[in-house]
């Protein structure tokens, strides 16, 4: 034992002597080589893992992807190498993720193997902003759905809000205007009516501030700053940047909602539940004392954020793309208006019951959703177990990104994938049909919770707009279909003219 101890001491002394004999440059070189070697062995792809582009030390593929157009960049990565099929991998810092391209593989994952891809990854930025609320939120999701998107009819609320919106647009008297804020206000007011029990005037400063905060937060959460934060949270917490403003936005949103909550508590009557907050307060009282209850005021705020996300951003973006496409294709706009005049007339308000008798209008709305590619990348999924997909092995807990862009523009599923064509949704008899590859709200167990509300909003708003106005570009201006990448693919700011159809 004594001899072994002496040998160990000699070895330690040799190592220390080796480092002391190195000059500064040699020591730095040794450290760099050691870090790179350790990174390679720690972060190399597992056996039979989907292939992917070359990974850089430490950062992986963080800068392989252009985060100002992530959906296109991910498609380009696949096209740059014939060796990648519809399933390939990227490494964002120390974290691997798998990208799914094309309808067949997305359907295989989200529908046929739904249980294996049913989780959501808990990303560091989410956890730092929402703490444990994200976990608790999942358990109260069905309450959100049952109240807002299933039981309460919002058709009269939507039509009433259109009247306010139309008053704003008519005030421009056919002159060019930017529809961004007006449409955002109108669609957001549907959620406000459902959640708070009242709408806001479009010039309300607090309302405008709330919507700007949501817009900024959605952009940050899909930016390179968010990716860096999720890859290196311990470092990014200490560095300045847009990612730090998320915390401030969250505080301001909570303050706004708490003011509404304060008013509700003062007038709350369990026998007369007026809106979402009233119902949630009732649920809190009912479940008080239950150990596994997830109903509390903090979690309510997260649910309200989800309702705004599910019921506002996608619908507002779709309508703004719709105005552009109608201005670009006036002959299609005329056919929509002709169908409206035949089925509804110019003076009766549209109803969801009209939809079945308006196949062309329905097809146009769906084509706007398809080619507008509103949510280009599905929200991240996470594997619940080791799974086989596309001939590869994906371990448990790996983040998976289904590319809805690759599905909605899949050349194997659509006759003219890059051309605006309502015929994609019409059969030979002119009846509406929905192809299986139309999944703008995702598919399977993680399908968007706001789908039913969004469908109602889109049909009633779009039909009402087409019934009342003809949309065209300002004189001498051609429609430009540029976009800004974020949670949704929003059209670049533009101006449009809305001319009244009836006197």
Which residues are annotated binding-site positions for heme? 448
- The H-assigned helical ranges of 223-275 are 224-231, 233-236, 245-266
Q: Which single residue is written with the structure tokens 């220390």?
A: 16
Q: What is the 3-state secondary structure (H, E, C) of 190-226?
A: HHHHHHHCCCCCCCCHHHHHHHHHHHHHHHHCCCHHH
Q: What is the 3-state secondary structure (H, E, C) of 303-330?
A: HHHHHHHHHHHHHHHHHHHHHHHHHHCH
Q: Closest Cα to residue 371, out of 433, 430, 308, 324?
A: 324
Tokens standing for 385?
């177990």
DSSP 110: I
Contacts of 441 (CB under 8 A, 6+ apart): 375, 447, 448, 450, 451, 454
The whole-angstrom separation of Cα 66 and Cα 73 is 6
Q: To which H or E segment does residue 158 belong?
A: helix 155-170
C-alpha torsion sign, points 354, 357, 361, 362: positive
Four-CA torsion 139, 140, 144, 147, nearest 10 degrees: 120
Q: Which residues are annotated as a binding site?
A: 448
Q: Which single residue is written with the structure tokens 């201005």?
A: 327
The whole-angstrom separation of Cα 462 and Cα 324 is 12
Could you give the angle at the alpha carbon of 66 between the alpha carbons of 40 and 118, nearest 5°? 70
Q: How would you label 250-273 residue by residue, b for 16+ Cβ within 10 Å and e otherwise?
A: beebbebbeebbeebeeebeeeeb
């Amino acid at each position: 034992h004594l001899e072994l101890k002496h040998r160990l001491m000699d070895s330690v002394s040799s190592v220390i002597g080796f480092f002391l004999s190195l000059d500064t440059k040699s020591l730095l070189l040794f450290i760099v080589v050691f870090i790179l070697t350790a990174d390679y062995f720690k972060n190399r792809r597992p056996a039979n893992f989907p292939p992917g582009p070359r990974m850089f030390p430490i950062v992986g593929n963080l800068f392989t992807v252009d985060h100002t157009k992530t959906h296109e960049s991910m498609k380009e990565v696949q096209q740059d190498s014939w060796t990648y099929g519809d399933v390939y991998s990227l490494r964002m810092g120390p974290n691997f993720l798998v990208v799914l391209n094309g309808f067949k593989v997305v359907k295989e994952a989200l529908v046929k193997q739904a249980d294996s891809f049913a989780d959501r990854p808990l990303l560091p930025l989410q956890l730092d902003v929402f703490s444990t609320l994200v976990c608790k939120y999942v358990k109260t999701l069905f309450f959100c759905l049952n109240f807002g998107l299933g039981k309460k009819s919002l058709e009269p609320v939507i039509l009433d809000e259109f009247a306010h919106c139309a008053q704003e647009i008519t005030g421009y008297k056919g002159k060019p205007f930017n529809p961004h804020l007006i449409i955002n206000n109108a669609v957001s007011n549907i959620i406000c009516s459902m959640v708070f029990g009242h709408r806001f005037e479009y010039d309300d400063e607090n309302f405008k501030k709330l919507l700007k905060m949501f817009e900024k937060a959605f952009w940050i959460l899909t930016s390179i700053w968010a990716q860096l934060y999720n890859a290196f949270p311990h470092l990014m917490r200490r560095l300045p940047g847009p990612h730090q403003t998320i915390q401030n936005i969250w505080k301001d949103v909570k303050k706004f909602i708490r003011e509404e909550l304060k008013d509700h508590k003062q007038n709350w009557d369990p026998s007369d539940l007026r809106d979402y907050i009233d119902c949630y307060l009732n649920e809190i009282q009912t479940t008080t004392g239950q150990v596994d209850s997830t109903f509390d005021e903090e979690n309510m705020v997260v649910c309200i954020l989800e309702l705004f996300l599910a019921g506002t951003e996608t619908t507002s973006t779709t309508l703004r793309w719709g105005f552009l496409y109608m201005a670009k294709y006036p002959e299609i706009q005329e056919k929509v208006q002709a169908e409206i005049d035949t089925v509804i007339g110019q003076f009766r308000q549209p109803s969801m019951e009209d939809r079945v008798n308006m196949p062309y209008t329905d097809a146009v709305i769906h084509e706007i959703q398809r080619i507008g590619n509103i949510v280009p990348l599905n929200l991240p999924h996470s594997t619940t177990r080791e799974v086989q997909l596309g001939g590869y092995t994906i371990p448990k807990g790996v983040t998976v990104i289904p590319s809805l862009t690759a599905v909605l523009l899949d050349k194997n599923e659509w006759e003219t994938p890059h051309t605006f064509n309502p015929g994609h949704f019409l059969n030979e008899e002119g009846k509406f049909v929905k192809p299986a590859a139309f999944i703008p709200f995702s598919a399977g167990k993680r399908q968007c919770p706001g789908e039913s509300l969004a469908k109602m909003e889109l049909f009633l708003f779009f039909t009402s707009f087409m019934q009342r106005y003809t949309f065209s570009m300002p004189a001498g201006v051609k429609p430009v279909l540029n976009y800004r990448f974020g949670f949704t693919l929003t059209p670049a700011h533009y101006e449009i003219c809305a001319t009244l159809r009836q006197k």
